[in-house]
């Protein structure tokens, strides 16, 4: 993957907050919270040199938390010259320890980790805590702590366990806190970040999606010129927004290849085509590859094999079309989002793969395309905002996320045309009733799972022996953890009745009441 630094196109136009990532699980959250203040933020590896940072001209720098101790042999370091750039710095947790370590303070190794809520006492007035109460509840997650601040720093908050949980050197613009302001359990965390951004760094807070759109369009035009560009449309929100953005920039120099796997939700392929082609005028070539996908999946019941087959076929079908239509194309546009970019440059090792998520990785190299990734600095909620700016209809933008391999991973056991039909119908009823009840937007993701069992039932005077389905609905912010939705029993009853009555082949409906962890959102 190309380094984000080479691709960044905004540094000279936006006021930027730079985040150096020391491996905290909360780093992305810092970036998102900063952007909620309409301040553009970027996450970079921790070893970025002071020279590179100077060229990027950030208006503020955050040193993130991280799992290490500054005393570990291979603990990630910050270039000490970064602290002398004259740019305000906020060190969070491990970032605080680094500041103290480099500037002559005393960092005390931990006897035990402190984890969870804590109450801090704020001493006197300091810029970071302007407007806060004398005592505040915060979220701690650390081992080491600061015993003595470095020369020039004043300690500005403490807990009963630790004498220095916040310190500042206003003359040099260096600030540090032991706790995590980005986590919602830190009650005044938003105010602390706002104070740093606006009062300390002086950000105007005028970063808007409309201006991102204008700049992204200008960037794509400059890069593509009068050459041709292709992209794969999967039906999901990201690839739809990405295609609409590229079309806005270069019009019908773009060909969007829509690979219809036949595994989308009921009517979804048509909905995407109608909104994007008829509504927005996108140059879309649709390939109905459903028979090919069904043939490829015939008799396969292992979830990971299903994913591999679908990923492989998607690339195969796309390649054939791209060769045919886009023979003269130079560029391939992809809907990579910022979390993937951050993940790939993080100091953390790759986290254990629970499910291999497929995307069209590897395509550009194989086809000799140059890669364009216009969404690579955006988070999911920002992609939705951008979609609105581009005029994509709200119902398309607001759809729940949907797995790349589609309904294949919601059909337990082998996939067949008949089983896809059953699941599409049952799923459409569930989603329809969720919308009717006004609960669709409250739920983060919902769908039906077709189980590989038949059960006995009775309809009229007849004994039946048919399929069982499970309803799955979860609420989550980040999809890493999720709680099952407490849907009202009347709604569940309506959905169950309708599915059993309207979907031929189903005689039983159950509701999944497992959170993640220990369950995952999808059943496969
Ligand atoms: P799990 O089931 O891992 O799902 O809790 C978390 C989120 O990821 C989606 N998901 C996938 N997305 N390809 C994708 O693009 C996949 O293979 C895949 N498997 C799960 C899932 O729908 C949920 O939003």
Of 59-68, 232-241, 288-297, 336-345, the range with the lowest mean pLDDT is 336-345
Within a 13 Å sphere around the CA of 70, how many CA atoms are in the beta-carbon half? 23
Report the C-alpha gap between 242 and 298 in whole angstroms.
32
Over 80: is that where the pLDDT of 361 sits?
Answer: no
pLDDT band at 110 (very low <50, low <70, confident <90, very high): confident
Nearest to 11 by CA among 44, 47, 37: 44
Mean pLDDT of the region 95-100: 97
Q: Whose CA is nearest to atom 19 of ligand 1?
A: 403
In the reported structure, the alpha carbon of residue 403 is separated from the centroid of ligand 1 by a whole-number distance in angstroms of 5
CB atoms inside a 10 Å sphere around CB 219: 16
pTM attached to this predicted model: 0.83
Rounded to the nearest 10 degrees, the angle between the axes of helix 380-389 and helix 209-224 is 80
Q: Whose CA is nearest to atom 24 of ligand 1?
A: 401
Q: Whose CA is nearest to atom 9 of ligand 1?
A: 403
Q: Whose CA is nearest to atom 10 of ligand 1?
A: 403
Q: Between residues 428 and 116, which one has the greater pLDDT?
A: 428
Which tens digit of pLDDT belongs to each residue from 362-395?
566 677 889 999 999 999 889 999 999 999 999 9
pLDDT of residue 227: 95
Which tens digit of pLDDT belongs to each residue from 417-436?
999 999 999 999 999 999 99
Mutation to probe ligand 1, out of 236, 265, 403, 520 (largest number of atoms < 8 A from CB): 403
Over 70: is that where the pLDDT of 9 sits?
Answer: no
Q: For residues 481-493, b (16+ Cβ closer than 10 Å) or e, as one string? A: ebebbebeeebbe
Task: Tell me which residue has tokens 């002559």.
Answer: 104
Q: Whose CA is nearest to atom 7 of ligand 1?
A: 479
Which is the closest atom of ligand 1 to the Cα of 522? 2
pLDDT of residue 12: 56
Contact 464, 456 (CB under 8 A): yes
Which is the closest atom of ligand 1 to the Cα of 236? 15
Site residues for ligand 1, CB cut-off 6 Å? 307, 354-355, 357-358, 401, 403-405, 409, 445, 479, 516, 520-522
- The verdict on whether omega for the bond into residue 518 sits within 30 degrees of 0, i.e. cis, is yes
Over 50: is that where the pLDDT of 2 sits?
Answer: no
Which tens digit of pLDDT belongs to each residue from 300-332?
999 999 999 999 999 999 989 988 876 788 999
Report the C-alpha gap between 10 and 56 in whole angstroms.
9
pLDDT of residue 4: 38
In the reported structure, the alpha carbon of residue 45 is separated from the centroid of ligand 1 by a whole-number distance in angstroms of 27
Nearest to 430 by CA among 364, 363, 498: 498
Mutation to probe ligand 1, out of 263, 337, 355 (largest number of atoms < 8 A from CB): 355
pLDDT of residue 113: 76
């Amino acid at each position: 993957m190309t380094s984000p630094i080479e691709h960044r196109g905004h540094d000279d136009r936006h006021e930027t907050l730079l985040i150096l990532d020391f491996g905290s699980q909360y780093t992305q959250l810092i970036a998102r919270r900063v952007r909620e203040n309409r301040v553009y933020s970027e996450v970079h590896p921790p070893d970025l040199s002071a020279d590179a940072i100077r060229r990027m001209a950030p208006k503020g720098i955050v040193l993130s938390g991280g799992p290490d101790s500054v005393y570990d042999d291979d603990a990630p370091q910050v270039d000490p010259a970064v602290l002398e750039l004259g740019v305000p710095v906020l060190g969070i947790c491990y970032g605080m320890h680094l500041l103290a370590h480099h500037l002559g303070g005393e960092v005390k190794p931990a006897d035990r980790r402190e984890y969870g809520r804590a109450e801090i006492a704020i001493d006197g007035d300091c810029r970071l805590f302007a407007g806060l109460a004398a005592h505040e509840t915060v979220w701690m997650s650390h081992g080491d702590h600061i015993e003595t601040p470095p020369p020039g720093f004043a300690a500005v908050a403490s807990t009963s366990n630790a004498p220095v949980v916040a310190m500042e050197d206003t003359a040099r613009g260096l600030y540090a806190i032991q706790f995590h302001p980005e986590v919602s359990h830190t009650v005044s965390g938003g105010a602390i970040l706002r104070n740093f951004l606006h009062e300390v760094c002086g950000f105007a807070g005028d970063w808007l999606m409309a201006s991102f759109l204008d700049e992204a369009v200008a960037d794509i035009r400059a890069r593509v010129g009068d050459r041709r560009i292709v992209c794969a449309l999967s039906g999901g929100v990201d690839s739809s927004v990405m295609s609409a953005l590229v079309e806005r920039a270069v019009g019908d120099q773009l060909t969007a290849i829509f690979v219809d796997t036949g595994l989308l939700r009921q009517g979804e392929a048509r909905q995407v085509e109608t909104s994007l082609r008829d509504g927005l005028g996108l140059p879309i070539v649709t390939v109905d590859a459903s028979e090919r996908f069904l043939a490829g999946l015939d008799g396969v019941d292992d979830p990971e094999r299903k994913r591999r087959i679908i990923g492989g076929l998607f690339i195969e079908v796309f390649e054939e079309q791209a060769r045919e239509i886009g023979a003269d194309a130079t560029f391939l546009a992809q809907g990579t989002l910022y979390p993937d970019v951050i993940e790939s440059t993080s100091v953390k090792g790759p986290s254990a793969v629970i499910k291999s998520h497929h995307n069209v990785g590897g395509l550009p190299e194989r086809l000799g395309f140059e890669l364009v990734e216009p969404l690579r600095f955006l988070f999911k909620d920002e992609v939705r905002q951008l979609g609105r700016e581009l005029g994509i209809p709200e119902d398309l933008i607001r759809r729940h996320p949907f797995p790349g391999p589609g309904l294949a991973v919601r059909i337990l056991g082998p996939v067949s045309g008949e089983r896809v039909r059953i699941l599409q119908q049952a799923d459409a009823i569930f989603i329809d009733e969720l919308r009717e009840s006004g609960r669709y937007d409250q739920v983060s993701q919902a769908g039906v799972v077709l189980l590989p069992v038949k059960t006995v039932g009775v309809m009229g005077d007849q004994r039946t022996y048919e399929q069982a389905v499970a309803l799955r609905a979860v609420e989550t912010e980040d999809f890493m953890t999720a709680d099952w939705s407490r849907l009202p029993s009347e709604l569940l009853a309506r959905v169950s009745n309708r599915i059993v009555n309207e979907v031929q082949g189903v005689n039983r409906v159950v509701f999944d009441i497992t959170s993640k962890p220990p369950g995952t959102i999808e059943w496969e």
